[in-house]
Amino acid sequence: MDRAFQRTQILTNHLLRSSPPPSPLSSNACLSYSPPELSENHAFDVKEMRKLIDGHDVEERDWLFGLMRQSKLFNPRVRGGKVFVSPDYNHSMEQQREMTWKRIEYFLERGVFKGWLTEEGEEIEMRKFAGFEVSSVYDHSLFTKLGVHFFLWGGAIKFLGTKHHHEKWLRDSENYLIKGCFAMTELGHGSNVRGVETITTYDSNTGEFVINTPCESAQKYWIGGAANHATHTVLFSQLYVNGSNQGVHAFIVQIRDADGNICPNIRIADCGHKIGLNGVDNGRIWFDNVRVPRENLLNSVADVSPDGKYLSSIENPDQRFAAFMAPLTVGRVNIACTSVYQSKVALAIAIRYALTRRAFSLKPNEPEVLLLDYPSHQGRLIPLVAKTYAMSFAANYLKMLYVKRTPDSNKTIHIVSSSFKATFTWNNMQILQECREACGGQGLKTENRVGHLKGEYDVQSTFEGDNNILMQQVSKALFSEYMAAQKRNKAFKGLGLEHMNKPCPVIPSQLTSSTLRCSQFQMDALCLRERDLLNRLVADVSKCKSEGESTQQAFLMCYQLAEDLSRAFSDRAMFQTFIEAEANLPAGSLKDVLGTLRSLYALICLEDVSYVRYGYLSVENGASVRQEITEICSELRPHALALITSFGIPDAFLSPIAFNWIEANSWSSV
C-alpha cells in the first residue's frame, strides 16, 4: 500500500509539475581509476613464474614484441594515456589481407624467420614455436598465414620430400621468394582426407603427373594464401599409376608466376568474408589437366619410376597414409600452444578490469565493491587462470615431446597433440566467452579485444582436425592400447597408462579439505575415471561386436563413453604435467601458490559431469568439491594480479579496459 501511495505521489507531482521532495541520498563523488598495482602485492617473483610457464625463449619473445611496438604497421594508437597495438578490424577484407602481408615482409626484413626452414635442431624449433605464439598474441591472421607457409607448406616439403626437394624449395621458401600454401581440404571432404576426389595420373610418355578436379565437390577449399599471394601449393590427391589407385599422395604444384598471374589450366576463386581471420586470403582451386614434373611428387614415402612403376618401402596402405599425414601433427601442436596465449590475453584483460571496476555498495555510504572481491566473480575467472596454467605446462610438454621426436614416439605425439589441440581450443573458447561476459558491455568493444577474439579463434575448433574427430582418435588409440596389452598379456606402457598396472584407486566416502588438496588423491581421482571409462568402453564395444556389429559400428554406438574417455585422458595428462612442473621447484612462495593453483585445477576437473554420472563421487562429495573450489578462489584472490602479470603479455597487447578505462572513454579522447 505504501509503495502504491509513493508511486501515485510521484505521478501527481509530475503532472502538476511540482518539485519532488529532497532525496535522502547524497550524491557520490565521481569514480576515479586507481591502478591495481597500488593495492595488490606480489607474493612471489612474477619473472620466475613467467619463465616457468613460457618455458623457453623469453628474450626472443620480448624482442619480437618490441619489433611490433616499434612499427606503425602494427596500428599503434593512444587510449587512456597508453599505446596499444592491434589490427584495425574496420579495414575491408582486402585491406586486412594486404596489412597481414606487409607485416610478414616487415618480419622478413628483420630476420625473424632466419633458420625456420633451413636449420635443424631443438633450439631453432623451439624458437620458431615462440615466434608463432608471440605473433598470435597480436593477430590470428598473421599467425595463420605464417603457419600455412612454414608449418604446412614448409613442413610438408621437409617431412614428405627428400634431399632434392629440400635443396630446391626450402631456402627460397624461408626467404619468401616462394610463397606456399597447402591444398588438402576439398568442398566435399575435410576430415576424411582419404576420400579426397582430386585425381592425379602418371603419364609415362612424358614423365609427368596430370592433375584434374573431376567434379565440383573436388575443388580445393579454404586454402590459406591461395586467393591472393601463394605461388605454389602442396596438393593432396589420389594417385593413379597404370590405372591403379595408390591412395593419397602429395605433389608440389605452381599456381602463380613470379608476377602473381594465375598459371594456365588453374582456376582460383575467393572463399569470401568470414566471421574472423579476414587477414588470411582463403581460396578455392580447380585443376584442369595441370602437368607437373615427376620430381614434384614428394617421395619420402613412395615414388614412381620414370617408366611408371609404383615404389614404396611401406607396403601397408594404412601405414603409408599415416606417413602422409605427418605434416598435420606440427600444425596441431602449434594451434594447441598458441590457443593458450589467447586465454592469457583475455584473462589478463578481464582480471585487470575486475581489479579496478566497482559495482554496488554492500552498506550505505560505503564504496562500491571491486568486481573481483565478489565470490561469484572470483568463481568465474580464477578457476580459468588455473586451467590456463595447466594448459601452459601441458603445452610446454607437448612442444618438447615434438622436438625430441623419434620414430617410436610418433604415435604418442599424434595422440597427445590431437587430445591437447581439441581440449585447449575448446577451453580457449570457454575462457574467451566468460571473460567477454565478465567485462560487461566493455567486452563488446572491438578495441577491448576479448569479444573480437571469439570470432577470430572460433575456427581453431575445426581446422587442422575437427575437435570431435580428434578426440575419437584418442579414445580409439586408448582402446587399441588396452586390447594390445591384453593380447600380449603384458603391462601397459606409454600414453601415461602405466597407472592401469596398479591397484584401482578408491575415493574415500568423506572428503575433507586436506584430502581434496592432496596431490596423490587428485591424481588417483583422475586416474580412476580414465581407468574405469576405458574398461567400460572395452566392455561395451566387445558386447556390440558379440552381437554382430563391426568394430567401427560398435564405436559409433558407444560414442558417449568414447567422448568421456578422451576428456578423462586429456585432464589426467594435463594434470601430470602440472605436477611435474611443481615438483621441480624449490620450496618457497612460488611453489606454494603453484600448489594451490594445481589443487584448483584438479578440483574443477572433478566437477566434470562424468564423476556423478558414473558414480565416482557421491552428491555429498560433489558438494565438498564445490565448497573447496570456492575457498581456494578466495585464497588466490590476493595473487590474482601477480598470476596474470606472470603471463608476460606486454601492456600494449592488452586493451584500454585493462588500464585507465575512465580516461580512455573521456570526452577528451573523442
Binding site as annotated, residues:
185, 224
What distances in angstroms separate CA 638 from CA 36, 356, 593, 670, one per listed residue? Answer: 11, 14, 11, 35
Alpha-carbon distance of 504 to 390, in angstroms, equals: 25
Gap between the Cα atoms of 212 and 196, Å rounded: 12
- What is the number of other CB atoms lying within 10 angstroms of the CB of residue 114? 14
* Residue 152 CB neighbours (<10 A): 26
> Distance of CA 659 to CAs 139, 353, 565, 571, Å?
21, 7, 42, 34
DSSP E strands: which ranges in 441-591? none
- Give Cβ neighbours of residue 272 (< 8 Å, ≥ 6 apart): none
- Three cell numbers written together for 2: 505504501
**If you ran DSSP here, which 8-state letter would residue 633 be given?**
H
Q: Give CA–CA dist 260/225, Å, rounded.
A: 12
Answer yes or no: 368 catalytic.
no
The amino acid occupying position 245 is N
The catalytic residue among 40, 133, 186, 464 is 464
User: Which residues sit in the known binding site for FAD?
Assistant: 185, 224
Q: Please, are residues 275 and 455 in contact by the beta-carbon 8 Å criterion?
A: yes
Pairing of strands 310-312, 82-85: unpaired
The angle at the Cα of 488, spanning 482 to 492, to the nearest 5 degrees, equals: 45
Distance CA 97, CA 442 (A): 27
Contact 183, 174 (CB under 8 A): no
Q: Which three cell numbers stand for residue 588?
A: 618457497
**CA pseudo-torsion sign 431, 432, 437, 440:** positive
> Residue written as cell 601492456?
651
Residues designated as active site: 464
